[in-house]
Amino acid sequence: MNLPDISVLADNILAGDRFALSRGITLLESNLEKDRKSSIQLLNICQKERKKGPSLHVVISGSPGVGKSTLIEALGIYLIAKGHRIAVLSIDPSSPVSGGSIMGDKTRMSRLSQSQSAFVRPSADQTRSGGLHPATYETSLLCAAAGFDIIFIETVGVGQSEVMARYVGDTFVLVVQPMMGDELQAIKKGILEVADVIVVNKVDGRLADEGRLTVQQLKNAMADTAYPDTSVLPVSSTEQKGIKEIWDAISTQLEDQTLTNRREGRDAFWMDQKIKERLLPEIKALYQDTWQNAYRNLQKDNANFLYEADHLIELILKKLSD
Ligand SMILES: Nc1nc2c(ncn2[C@@H]2O[C@H](COP(=O)(O)OP(=O)(O)OP(=O)(O)O)[C@@H](O)[C@H]2O)c(=O)[nH]1
Ligand SMILES: [Mg+2]
């Protein structure tokens, strides 16, 4: 894309045009070399020219099927009624060619998808590690520039992606469903501690009693952590129960800590992340022969990958300092 085209695209995004926003996101998500510079320019203009007020970025994380999309739909409708504009970025961990699932998310969030005040965008998780798309952070910034003031990021968070999710949003909501004692034991303390708000969803029908027990047990579990005051809330997304309470909990918790504090270090984190993602492949391409040589060494009987890694790093550092 040339600069005039990017300027027009940016203007349309800034005017809140959802079709333009979709195109912009596709550009940001592109892996093509030629699109990188255009992405930088687009984000640049949008950040600079942005006239809208502040936006709040909410990560909604939890195992597959706990009801994240249904919850976002319920929360989204509640917030639209209060005058907000909602963007939803849902990251699908299953497959990069996930036509079925993309349709799935749009049907699950059918009311939001049809609302003029909402924008729903599914993306594939390219790393397939159950986390984020590499461009989720910049995508959320573009949604904010388009005037969406609350941005939900739906992710199946597992393992280290929680740390990434912490840096993509202002607040982290962990969704679980009613569970038995041993399932509760299996939840890692670290994941509970990352959460700002814990939602026990599907507390309705035949799961209602088990759900209320789960809430109590999670509250007890939190008492032993560094964050004993974390809200643990019973919710039914399908019956729209407990939705206001989630929003109240998020709002209270954000009042305690200013957004500026929470956002501190975020751009620095993503800058490092971008460098990590790009540098290794670029260096590999630059030192192709040396790398191939190291790979060949690994095939040998007395191969030592630590030695090979160390050797490559020292070689590169030496070249850099020459
Ligand atoms: N009973 C009950 N079922 C629910 C509730 N919320 C969601 N469900 C059901 O749970 C199933 C999964 O819901 P989703 O919202 O797609 O769950 P998800 O966590 O987004 O799933 P993935 O995106 O595939 O990880 C659907 O059949 C929903 O109808 C709830 O509050 N109560
Ligand atoms: Mg979903």
List of residues 6+ apart from 189 with CB closer than 8 A:
221, 224, 225
HEC per residue, 174-240: EEECCCCHHHHHHCCHHHHHHCCEEEECCCCHHHHHHHHHHHHHHHHHHHCCCCCCCEEEECECCCC
129 has which bridge partners?
A: none
For residue 78, the CA-to-ligand 2 centroid distance in Å is 18
pLDDT along the chain (322 residues), means of 10: 89 96 95 92 92 86 91 97 95 54 62 93 69 88 96 78 77 91 77 90 96 94 89 97 96 75 84 91 94 95 94 93 88
Query: Which of 60, 63, 66, 70 has most ligand 1 atoms within 8 Å of its beta carbon, as the pocket-test mutant?
Result: 70
The reported pLDDT for the residue numbered 21 is 97
In 3D space, the residue among 57, 67, 71, 86 whose CA is nearest the CA of residue 165 turns out to be 57
Query: How far, in Å, is the centroid of ligand 2 from the Cα of 76?
Result: 14
- Specify which residues 198 forms β-bridges with: 174, 232
64 lines ligand 1 (CB under 6 A): yes
DSSP type of residue 153: E
For residue 176, give the ligand nearest its CA. Answer: 1
Q: 176: helix, coil or strand?
A: strand
- Residue closest via CA to ligand 1's atom 10 equals 67
Ligand 1 centroid to Cα of residue 60, in Å, is 13
Q: Using the structure block, give the residue that is written with the tokens 């560094």.
A: 226
- Residue 314 has a pLDDT of 96
Question: What pLDDT score does 100 carry?
Answer: 43
Q: Give bridge partners of residue 123 from the DSSP assignment.
A: 91
Tell me the torsion sign for CA atoms 240, 245, 248, 249. negative
CA 246 to chain centre: 19
Name the closest ligand to CA 157.
Answer: 1
> How many Å lie between the centroid of ligand 1 and the Cα of residue 67?
3
Residue 147, both tokens = 């005037």
The confidence score (pLDDT) of residue 257 equals 66
Tell me the CA distances in angstroms from 146 to 55, 62, 112, 265, 285, one per residue in order.
10, 27, 17, 24, 37
Q: What is the pLDDT of residue 168?
A: 87
Predicted pLDDT of residue 160: 55
Instruction: Tell me how far the alpha carbon of residue 317 lies from the centroid of ligand 1, in angstroms.
Output: 50
CA-to-CA dists, residue 319 to 272, 280, 283, 285, 311, angstroms: 22, 15, 12, 15, 12
- Looking at residue 123, its pLDDT comes to 81
- 285 burial (CB, 10 Å; 0-12 / 13-18 / 19+) is exposed
Other C-beta atoms closer than 10 Å to the C-beta of 287 total 16
pLDDT at position 38 is: 96
> Which of the following CATH numbers is that of domain 52-258: 3.40.630.30, 2.30.30.40, 3.30.365.10, 3.40.50.300?
3.40.50.300
Binding site membership of 69 for ligand 1 (Cβ less than 6 Å):
yes
Ligand 1: does its nearest atom lie under 6 Å from the Cβ of 156? yes
CB 157 within 8 A of CB 125: no
- First and final CA of the chain: distance in angstroms? 37
Look at residue 167 in the predicted model and tell me its pLDDT. Answer: 84
Pull the structure tokens for residue 305: 């990958």
The reported pLDDT for the residue numbered 97 is: 45
Count the Cβ atoms, other than its own, within 10 Å of residue 8. 12
Matching CATH number, 1-49, of 1.20.5, 1.10.530, 1.10.760, 3.40.1350: 1.20.5
Distance between CA atoms of residues 93 and 286, nearest Å: 32
Question: Which residue, judged by its Cα, is nearest atom 28 of ligand 1?
Answer: 67
Q: What was the pLDDT predicted at 157?
A: 67
Tokens of 222: 């939190």
Q: What is the DSSP string of 100-135?
A: HHHHHHHHHTHHHHH-TTEEEEEEE-TT-SSS--TT
- What are the boundaries of each domain within the chain? 1-49, 52-258, 268-321
For residue 151, the tally of other CB atoms under 10 A from its CB is 25
Our measurement of the distance from residue 227's CA atom to the centroid of its chain's CA atoms, rounded to an integer in Å, reads: 22
